[in-house]
Structure 1
Amino acid sequence: MKAPPIDEADSLQEDWDRLFPAGLSDEAAATLLRFVDALGSLLESRYGAQARAHQIRSADPHPPF
C-alpha cells in the first residue's frame, strides 16, 4: 500500500536532513538541483519511452505475436 503524500514528504525531508548539512550553500543546493533534474530527464528519456511502449502494447487487444 502506498504511503499518503504527507508521509512521503516527511520521509523525503528526513532523508534530505540525513544526507545534507543544514548549512548547505545556495550554490551547492543549486548544483544539486541541476544534477537531480538532469538525472530525472535521463531516466524519463530512457524508461519513459519503455513505459509508453509497454502501455501501447498492453492496450492492443491483438498483439502481433
Structure 2
Amino acid sequence: MTTAMQPTVNRAMFTAEDAAAYLSLGRSTVYELMAAGDLPYVKVGRSRRIRLTELDAFVAQLKPHAN
C-alpha cells in the first residue's frame, strides 16, 4: 500500500499556473477563484501571485462532500 506524499515547497508565492498544479485544479478555476475573492492574491507589477499560506488556508476551509 502506498501513501500520498506531501509535495515539498521551497517558495512563498505561486503563479496561477503553479497554484493550479499545487491544488490539482485547472488554471481557469484558479483565476475564477481569484476573481470571486475566494483565493486572495497580491499584485507584483502586472502579475498576480498567490501566497503559499493562502493556498493552504483555501484547502483547509474546504468542506468534505457528504452523500
TM-score by length of 1: 0.33
TM-score by length of 2: 0.32
Higher CA-based Rg: 1
Q: Point out the structure with the larger helix share.
A: 1
